[in-house]
């Protein structure tokens, strides 16, 4: 009969580093998405308040695996959920409601954030 013994040593420092890298990559991916939306010029733009000053990434729950893009203007919800409005297109030629739709499941850029997260994580960890 064959007998096998093994010893497993966990590198807890490296595991902690990889876990912290997940959080950092998630935060950077949220910022990537915000930048992509601005560069795609799909947010309604009158004076730039909604797009430039009032939309930001909230990292308060990033350690739990959740980040959010927040728009603090009171009209943001109304214009987002009413794509039938006629938006000004001088500053942002592709302005519309539901401006995150391209990056949601089923959208043409649905995999962009996943791919960006993977690249960021690999860059941070060297894995």
Residue 3 lies in a domain: no
Using one digit for the tens of pLDDT, what is the confidence trace for 64-112? 999 999 999 999 999 999 989 999 999 999 999 999 999 999 999 999 9
Residue 43 lies in a domain: yes
The radius of gyration computed from the CA coordinates of the chain, to the nearest angstrom, equals 20
CB atoms within 10 A of CB 88: 11
Burial class (CB in 10 A: 0-12, 13-18, 19+), 60: exposed
Domain that holds residue 104: 15-125
Give the per-residue pLDDT at 94.
96
Give the per-residue pLDDT at 84.
93
Region 6-27: mean pLDDT is 95
Residue 6 lies in a domain: no
Beta strands in the chain (DSSP E): 55-58, 68-71
Residue 23 has pLDDT above 90, yes or no: yes
CB atoms within 10 A of CB 46: 13
Residue 1 lies in a domain: no
How many domains does the chain fold into? 1
Residue 75 lies in a domain: yes
- Beta bridge partners, 70, equal 56
The dihedral over CA atoms of 90, 92, 94, 98, expressed in degrees to the nearest 10, equals: -120
Token duo for residue 124: 């941070």
Contacts of residue 63, defined as CB under 8 A and 6 or more positions apart, other chains included, come to 23
Report the predicted TM-score, pTM, of the whole model to 2 decimal places. Answer: 0.88
Give the per-residue pLDDT at 111.
97
Residue 9 lies in a domain: no
């Amino acid at each position: 009969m064959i007998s096998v013994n093994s010893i497993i040593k966990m590198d807890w420092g490296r595991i902690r580093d990889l876990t912290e890298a997940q959080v950092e990559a998630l935060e950077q991916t949220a910022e990537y998405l915000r930048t992509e939306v601005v560069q795609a010029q799909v947010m309604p733009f009158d004076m730039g308040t909604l797009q430039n000053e009032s939309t930001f990434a909230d990292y308060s729950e990033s350690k739990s695996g959740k980040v959010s893009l927040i728009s603090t203007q009171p009209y943001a919800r109304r214009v987002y959920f009413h794509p039938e409005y006629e938006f000004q297109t001088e500053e942002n030629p592709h302005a519309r409601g539901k401006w995150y739709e391209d990056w949601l499941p089923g959208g043409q850029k649905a995999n962009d954030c996943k791919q960006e997260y993977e690249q960021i994580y690999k860059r941070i960890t060297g894995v």
